[in-house]
Every structure is written in C-alpha cells, then in structure tokens.
Structure 1
Amino acid sequence: MAGCDLQHQLESMECHFNWELDCSPSSLQKLQRDLEDRLRCGCNWMRHVYNDLGYVLHVQGLKDEALEILIKGQTYIKTETTYHGDCSLLMNQANMAWVYYHKGELEKSQACLEEVARLQKEFPTPEGSQMHPVLIAQKGWTLMKFENSPKRCAIECFKMALTGNPEKKNLHKGLALAMEKSYTKEDFKGNPGLQREVIDQLKKARDKYKNEDVCLGALYLVNSLACGDMCEEALDEANKLADKLIASGEISGLSNLLYLLMARLKNFDKAIEVTEKMLEMFPQSTRVKRNLANCLKRKAFLLPKESEERLPLLKRSSDLSKDMNPTTVKDSLDLAKLHACAGDNDAAEHQYKSLLDREEQLTDAEKQLVLLRYGDYYMFHHKSPNLSVESFMRAVNIPAEHRHTCIKRLVHIVRYGSHERCEEICSFLLNLLCESCRDIGELFLRK
C-alpha cells in the first residue's frame, strides 16, 4: 500500500519521468553523447544537462549511472546560490526520487519527495499559475531535445513562462527556438504569416541579447533568407557571427552557423575554416568533430569525382567520424558511405556487416535502412548487382518507412532491363500487389 501511495506522489511531480518524452533508441544514444560533450566542454545551462542526462541514462537501463549524474547535478545546483538554482533542485530531486523508486530504494525515494515538498513551500507557484515559471521553462527546453516529443507544447511552455517574466531574455530565446524548430515548410504554406511570426520572434530574442547570441543570429539570417530578405548583407553578417563564435570560446551556435554558411550561403570553405578553429579550442569535442566531418563531406560531394581535392576531404571526414566511434545506426551508415566514397571498400564492408551482425537489436525501420544502404553500396560502389537485389528484396519484406524507396530501386532495375534476374524481380514485385492490380503492375513494369 505504501508503495502505491509513493507511486501516486511520484506521478504528480513535474519532472522528466512524467512529461511523456519520446525518443528512438539510436536518438537517445546521440542525445547522451551530446549531453556528455556539454558536460566536458561546458555550456550556459548545466543545470538542465544534468537532469536531461540522468533521465536519458535511466531510460537506457543505466540506473546506477543515472543516479550518479543526478547526484552530481544536485551538488552543482547547490553551488548556485541563485533563486533559479534552488528551483532547478525541485526537478532534480523529483527525477532522483523516480530513479530510487525504480531501483527499489523506497526510503530514499520518499526522502527526495520530502525535499521536493520543502522546496515547493519555499518557492511556491505564483497565484493563478499551475506550475512554477522556472519549471515551465525547463520543461520547454527539455521537450525540444527529445526527437518525438511534442515541440509545439514547448512553445506553450515558454509563452506561459513569459507571462510572469516578460523581460527574461532566455525565455524569449526559448520561444524563438521552439517556434523555429516546431514549424515546417508545410505549416508556412498553409499560413503565410506564420514564417514572419517566427522571424519576428527570432529578431526580438536576438535584440534582447544585443545581437551577441550566435545561435539566434544564425537562425534569424537562415529564416530571413528563406523569405528573400537580407540577401545582400547575409555574407557579411555570417562572417561577423563566425568571429563572435570564435571569440566567445563556446560551442553553442556552431551547428546553426554552419547550416547558414553551407545550406544557405554555399560557403563551404568558411564553414570548414570556422570548425577547424573550434576543433583547436575543443580537441575532444564530439560535436565539433561531427560538424567538421560533415563540412568536409559536404564539400567533397560537390566536387567532381576526378578532383584531386575530393579524396583527401573524404578521407579526413571518415577518419574524424571513425574517431568518434559511432554508436547510432545513422552515424554508422554515414561512415560506411564515407569509406566507400573514399575508395576503402574493405572498411565499408566491415561497417555494413557489423550493423547486420546486430540485426536483432535494430528496429524494423533501422534494419530496413541498413539493407537499403547496403544494396546501394553493392549497386554503385562494389558493382555487385546480384547482392544489391538480394539486399533490396530483404528490405522490401520489412514493413517500415523505407519500403517504398526499396521498391523503387527494384522497379528501376526491371525497367532498365539488363539485369539477369529481371523476371524474378518482376514476379517478386507483382506478388506484392493485390490480384486485381497485377495486370496494371505488369504493364507498368514492362514500359
């Protein structure tokens, strides 16, 4: 009975465990690596990092490691004598109570809840609010980090937090980032004024920071350029942001700046130059290494295959990626492709086979993506058409999101008409169709 009462108390707490955070296993691994990188290299929101990382470790079954991080977070937060530091301790203690509960240490869990109750009395929720503004804001920041969590709820979190703290610049930044991350091109098509709202909020937040925040400055330019604004001054502004980033001695804003330089301004040399300087400052940072590998790869893929510059860029990119010891399926596949493009087929083959060897640990979507990429490798790099067909057929039999792409690969082979297994492939594809559709399907394949 006491255990049930304890669980009921835990479920009423505002913390990560009760916010329905959702993330795929591979994305959790990537998030863990990024959060650990921020602990090593430092950032402006360490209180959040400890809470986020503690939850991420727990979700992956690493309960002892999660507790260790949360205890370190507790120590760190207590060294901050600010009002916000004490409020952050509320979430830290609620998360810790959950971890102790799952470890079966109910007395320690109850002790954490008693500390939460004490802090709630010391820092009561303002009248008319359902939740303390600091906790609302922390919930907003947290929702933005988890892959499948409702990003638009983060927008509402920051709006609610701003009602009590309208001048707080980090809340304006949170709202701007939540809006920028939540809305898509499809949203903008249906509501032409929405993108202007996002740009206006980015500008408002940027001005709150006196144009010194690189992340906000880069995203403001990215969205302005998408609307046809600031085209003439964009390059100069981007160069100023790059100088500010290097002078700041912080990594925050790097990925946003690189997106501006590469995706919008097509200035790959400047992107590489900035990231090389950041790597000199943070030689152990996985985020900087990943960004530099991406810059080198993207520049290489734009060069003609016969370019002498292309191969060294791909080799350096693959070396950086390998040095990071990729753990996610996507990162491992990207590394395999880099090896193949750099002409190292043995390394590419090893990477693909190591993924297939742990097939049982992959989700259907991940398994299908591995087989699709493996088939592409055999088709375009290894020139083994039979093996590519086998891989595509296996992928088609998995009911996941890349199935249509795999079918298109096989249809292309049939319609090209030179493969010795065209009849077999055609029959395989027709068997996927319902009986009434097979005649139409056969006509389509034979065209």
Structure 2
Amino acid sequence: MDSLSHVMKQHRTYIVPIKNADEVKGKLLQLRCHFTWELLVEDTEMPDLENRILDEIEFLDTKYNAGIHNLLAYVRHLKGQTREALESLKEAEDLIQQEHGDRSAVRSLVIWGNYAWLYHHMGRLAEAQTYLDRVANTCEKFAAPSCYRLDCPQMDCEEGWALLKCGGKNYERAKACFEKALAAEPANPEFSTGYAITIYRLDGFNKATQVSDAFCLQPLKEAIRLNPEDAYIKALLALKLQDVGQEAEGEKYVEEALTNMSSQTYVFRYAAKFYRRKGALDKALQLLKRALRATPSSAFLHHQMGLCYKARMIQIKRAANWQPRGQDRDNVDKMVRLAIAHFQFALEQKPTFDVAYIHLAGMYIEAGNHRKAEDIYQKLLCLTSLDEEKQQKGHFHYGQFQEFQKKSEVNAIIHYLKALKTEKVSLTRDKCINSLEKLTLRRLSRNASDIESLSILGFIYKVKGEMNKALEYYEQALRLAVDSGNSGT
C-alpha cells in the first residue's frame, strides 16, 4: 500500500504541472500580494532593504508585524532562499492568528497569495492550488466580484506598507493605498500611521514649498491622536515641526519619545537627527552610537554620523575664522577622516544612497583629494536608479565642483544646463539658476560679445519667466551671430 501511494503521488505531481500550469499562472496573476504589486527595488538596494526589514522586526515595537514578515519572505525569494521564505510566511501566519484570531481570514489573504506564488516557483502546483483555493473561499465568503481578488481597506493597507518599505520610487503608490484605506475607515489607527509616515517620507522629496511641510503636520498629529503611545511617530513629528520653525514644540515630542521605552533604536535615530540639526552635536553623536550598537549595518545611521562629524568640522573652522591652524587643523582633518569613513560605509550598505555620494565627495574636496571627489561624482551620475530630481541635484553639485575646484567654467555650464533640463520646481533648481546666472554674467563682464553667454542668459531669463529680458539677450546673441557671419569670421 505504501509503494502504491508513493507511485500515485509521483504520478500526480508529474501530471499536474503539465496539465494545469497555465491555468494556475492565470489565477496567480489575479492575487493581491507581494508578487503582483510590482515593488520597485534595484538589485543593489536588496541588502539594505533586507537589513532594514530585519531591524524593524527586531527593534520596532508595532502592532502591525505580519506584513513585515511577508515582505521578508518576498525578499528572500528574490535572493533564491526558498526555505527561508517559507519560514517567514509561517511566522507571518502565526502572528496573524495571535493578533486577529477568528478575524484572520482577510489578513491572511496576502500570506496565502505569497505561499501560492512560492509553491508555483518551486514547481509544486498542487500546493499552489491549495492556497489559491483558500483565497477563493474567502473571496466567496465576502462576495468579492473576483474569485482570487478581494478589494478591501485591509488589503490596501498591506499593499501600502509593502510599497512604503521598498523606497522612494514606491511612495506615491503607497500614499494612494493608504488614502483608499482611510476613505473606508477614517479612524483606523494602522491606516492613519501608514499614511502619516508616507506623507512624511514624500515630504523629504518635496522641499520646494512650505505648503508640503504644513500639509505633513496634520497627518502626523492625527496618527499620534489615534496611537498615543507610538514614540516613533512622535519623533517624526518633532523633525517636521523643526522643519517649519517650531523647534521648541518639536523638542517636547522628542523628549516624550525618548522617555518611552518603545522602539528606542528608531527613536534614537530620529532624535539624533533632531539634535544634530539643532547644533547639539555631542547629544546627537551619543544617541547615534547607542543606535549603532543595536543596528551596526544601518546606512541611515552611518550617514547621520558622517553629517555630525561634518558639522563639527564646520564648527571648528568657524571658531578659527575659517583658517584653522595647529591643533584646530588637526581636529578638522580628524573630523574629515571620520566623516569620510561613515559616508563610505553607508554607501557600501546602500550603493543607491544618492545624497551620501554628494556628502562623501564634499569631504574629499575638504581633504583636497579632487581625484577621489571626481570618482565619487562619476559613480553618482552613472546610477541608473536616480529619478529626475536626484539627477538634477547630482549635476548641480558636480557643476559646483567643476566651477570652484576644477576651475572649468565650460564644464560647470554643461552640468548646470543638464540640471535645468528637469523642469520640476525645487530648491536645487533655484540654486542652479543663480549659479549659472552669476557665472554667465562673469563671462560677459570679460567679453560682452560672447554669443554663447548671451544665449545662455536668454535661456536663464526664459526659465525664470522674464520673457522680455530673455528676448533682449536672445536678440543680442542673434545680431552678433549675423554680424559675425556677414564679416566672414
């Protein structure tokens, strides 16, 4: 009987993949889970993403734990670690049972979808079908229009958390997910928390206007109202209040967060950032070192350490009237070396960390090592993961390097113009316009008949919306070009 069962089992697993593979794949594509959410993550970002997920599991005190284990399962699948991925899904399943008990079916849909996809990738279609059946039964119970897809706020929230954790390219979609969930349940603490964090992250990308700063405050305050013990959200609100000039109020929230034992490693990170920006560098470094003991591979923490040492270097130079000598010079050099070490480590952990490249290049400039600064800028500008705004920032800073360190006005102009190709309003764009205008006027002061400089100045005024001035300079350039052509030169 045992041998017959064995033969039948072998026969079944042999026949099913051939007969039902396409049918199963069609069902899988209807599921709402990590395999169908099109999470945009660069291969080079994977180690940092996994580190951040593991840190969150260990150090972030939250009621919403199952989702992060689901995401870890997906990341492990991408790394080819199938057994570990299945273990992560089992942990997610156990947490759902603990947290939701009898109401766990909807919360389990993402887990079952991930199981189905994993077994499909393993070629175990019978097991994949088992989990598809569980999804179908639940969808039927809730009268969903589709057998394998349930649209409900809990599912929107799960998708939102996954997108949020996977980085900036996914934030707008995460925001839409949490907005949809909140439209159904406006007072849900989990939806409110997810939305507030997403808006905070997006605001970091959109510093062009104070409107976005003000808009971000209300969601954070609402999240705290619904989650009064959430120290992590309080730390984020403190930073946002500091952004809008309400530092004293922000510090109250930081102190509240620091007295709470919840999520301390995360609170230390953001409290340190708050105190660094306030100028309290000793306190910031103390908090960062405490956080680093728990999460030594954090790219965020090493970047913040580098920024603290950079700020300390500036303090020393300012006190020495920008001409440090003797012990001051030694201390400046030490701060530069420490900053470089931390920025480099951050980039080893997260090779797509665009702003860390800019800060590292700046420290090499400070050290007088222009060759290394050039290498760093080249690496930054070659990153395929950069969106338009980050490319703009990279070209602007590289233009500054060309203008002031390499003394190449031509190369500076090339990169300022590349930065201005991105039409999105930003502080970087404003700085770029000002730098290009100053450089062009300087060139014209040396040669008032420089056709190229006149054309560039026309372009600058066009970008600024000053069309009369733009036409004036364009016409000057055109007249000179015509005269030059007529004279045969």
TM-score relative to the length of structure 2: 0.66
Equivalent residue for 2:158? Answer: 138
Q: Distance in 1 between matches of 2:45 and 2:455?
A: 34
Gap change, CA 1:332 and 1:175, over 3 Å in 2: closer
- The C-alpha deviation readout for 1:377-432, integer Å capped at 9, x for no partner, is 2333xx3222x532541563588428966565443222123779993752773797
Matches within 5 A, 1:28-427: 31=49, 34-35=52-53, 37-38=55-56, 44=62, 47-53=66-72, 55=74, 62=78, 64=80, 67=82, 70-80=85-95, 81-82=97-98, 84=100, 90-95=109-114, 97-98=116-117, 107-108=123-124, 111-118=127-134, 121=137, 131=151, 134-145=154-165, 146-148=167-169, 149-159=172-182, 162=185, 169-178=189-198, 180-181=200-201, 189=211, 197-198=218-219, 200-207=221-228, 209=229, 213-222=230-239, 231=248, 234-235=250-251, 237-244=253-260, 247-248=261-262, 250-263=264-277, 265-301=278-314, 304=318, 305-306=322-323, 308=328, 310-324=332-346, 325=348, 326-328=350-352, 330=354, 331-355=356-380, 359=382, 361=384, 365=388, 369-380=393-404, 383-386=405-408, 389-390=410-411, 392-393=413-414, 396=417, 400-401=421-422, 409-417=435-443, 423=450, 425-426=452-453
CA distance in 1, matches of 2:34, 2:403: 45
Gaps of 5+ in 2: 1-18, 463-467, 478-489
TM-score normalised by L of structure 1? 0.71
In 2, distance between residues paired with 1:191 and 1:399?
24
Q: Deviations over 1:206-236 (max 9, x none)?
A: 42x2xxx3212223444566788793x6545
The C-alpha deviation readout for 1:143-174, integer Å capped at 9, x for no partner, is 433424334324335426747xx6x7545533
Partner-residue secondary structure (3-state), 1:118: helix
Contact 1:369 1:402 (C-alpha < 8 Å) held by counterparts: no
> What displacement does 1:41 show?
6.3
What is the DSSP-based 3-state SS (H/G/I as helix, E as strand, rest coil) of the residue aligned with 2:24?
helix
Shift of 1:340: 1.8
Question: What is the alpha-carbon distance in structure 1 between the residues aligned to residue 143 and residue 225 of structure 2?
Answer: 28
Between the aligned partners of 2:264 and 2:392, the Cα distance in structure 1 is 38
Match of 1:429 among 430, 441, 456: 456
Distance change in 2, residues 1:32/1:77 (3 Å):
closer
Matched residue pairs, number? 420
State the Cα distance separating 1:131 from its structure 2 match: 4.0
Structure 1: distance between partners of 2:294 and 2:212: 44
Distance 2:197 2:378 in 1: 39
Cα shift readout 1:111-163 (whole Å, capped 9, x = no counterpart) = 33531432564798768995466434322322433424334324335426747
**SS of the residue aligned with 1:253?**
helix
Q: Compute the displacement of 1:320 (Å).
A: 1.3
Q: Deviations over 1:271-300 (max 9, x none)?
A: 222112222343344343233223333454
CA RMSD after TM alignment: 4.8
- Residue number among 452, 473, 478 corresponding to 1:440 in the alignment: 473
What is the deviation of 1:327?
0.6
> Partners of 1:175 and 1:296 in 2: how far apart?
33
| Matched position secondary structure for 1:16 | coil
Instruction: State the percentage of identical aligned residues.
Output: 17
**Shift in Å at residue 319 of structure 1?**
0.7
- Counterpart code for 2:336: L
Q: In structure 2, what residue type is equivalent to 1:333? A: I
Q: Deviations over 1:59-88 (max 9, x none)?
A: xxx5625x4653342243245452559656
Whichever residue aligns with residue 31 of structure 2, its letter is M
* Contact 1:410-1:425 within 8 A present in 2 as well: no
| Max Rg structure | 2
Counterpart residue type for residue 350 of structure 1: D
Quote the Cα distance in structure 2 between the aligned partners of 1:318 and 1:425: 39
Deviation at 1:316, TM superposition (A): 1.4
Task: Tell me how far apart the structure 1 counterparts of residues 156 and 119 of structure 2 sit (CA, whole Å).
Answer: 24
CA distance in 2, matches of 1:414, 1:64: 54
How much has 1:20 moved relative to structure 2? 5.2
1:322 positional shift? 1.4
C-alpha offsets along residues 358-387 of structure 1, whole Å, 9 cap, x if unaligned?
x3856684666544433322333xx3222x
Change (3 A) 1:218 1:363: closer
Aligned AA for 1:414? T
**Contact 2:336/2:367 (CA < 8 Å) preserved in 1?**
yes
Q: Which amino acid aligns with 1:378?
A: Q
